[in-house]
Amino acid sequence: MDTYANSVYNRDIRRHFVLAYAESILSDPWLWRMAVEYMVTCDEIGLQTAREVLLHVPMRLLEPAPKAMNTSDNAASPTSHLKDLLEVCDEHDFLDTKADICRVGGPFPRRVIV
């Protein structure tokens, strides 16, 4: 096998296993961000898969959230998860995905459970 074919083969094998691992850790809903970080390392197919994952992180909109008891409660609030989604979109220039998430989640007027 020539060098070019070998490098393409190795890249495809790496991409396959990285995407498989990223998809396997999605079984824990709290690991969505780690899975997306793995996916974005895998060329266009990984980027597209990451966009899809971001759009399907489960969210449930509720009435306005009660005030947090202290700052540590605020850091783990459901709204912070929506902020995390938008932050990941910004980090990877997923502007269309960010717009779709904002349409569903709005500009934080409600409590969001992820």
Tens digit of each residue's pLDDT (9 = 90 or more) over 47-106: 999 999 999 887 654 334 445 444 454 445 556 678 888 999 999 999 999 999 888 766
Query: In sequence order, which residues have a C-beta less than 8 Å from that of residue 15 and are 6 or more positions away?
Result: 42, 43, 45, 46
Instruction: Let me know: does 19 contact 42? Beta carbons within 8 Å.
Output: yes
Instruction: Let me know: does 41 contact 77? Beta carbons within 8 Å.
Output: no
62 to 43, 59, 80, 102: CA distances (angstroms): 37, 10, 14, 15
pLDDT bin (cut points 50, 70, 90) of residue 5 is low
- Picking from 47, 66, 55, the residue whose alpha carbon sits closest to that of residue 110 is 66
Averaged pLDDT for residues 26-35: 90
Gap between the Cα atoms of 98 and 92, Å rounded: 10
Gap between the Cα atoms of 81 and 79, Å rounded: 5
Alpha carbon dihedral 82, 101, 22, 15, in 10-degree steps, equals -140
